[in-house]
A and B are shown apart, each in its own frame.
Chain A
Amino acid sequence: DVKVTQSSRYLVKRTGEKVFLECVQDMDHENMFWYRQDPGLGLRLIYFSYDVKMKEKGDIPEGYSVSREKKERFSLILESASTNQTSMYLCASTSRLTYEQYFGPGTRLTVT
Chain B
Amino acid sequence: GEDVEQSLFLSVREGDSSVINCTYTDSSSTYLYWYKQEPGAGLQLLTYIFSNMDMKQDQRLTVLLNKKDKHLSLRIADTQTGDSAIYFCAEKGDSNYQLIWGAGTKLIIKP
List A residues at the B interface (Cβ < 8 Å): 4, 31, 33, 40-43, 45, 48, 50, 56, 58, 90, 92, 94, 96, 99-106
Q: Which residue of B lies closest to A6 (CB)?
A: B42
List B residues at the A interface (Cβ < 8 Å): 8, 31, 33, 40-45, 48, 88, 92, 96-99, 101-104
Residues of B within 8 A of A31 (CB): 97
Query: Contact: B103 with A42, CB < 8 Å?
Result: yes
Q: Is the interface of A mostly helix, strand, loop or mixed?
A: strand
The answer for the CA separation of A58 and B44 in the assembled complex, in Å, is 21
Query: Contact: B98 with A40, CB < 8 Å?
Result: no
Residues of B within 8 A of A40 (CB): 8, 103
Query: Contact: B88 with A42, CB < 8 Å?
Result: yes
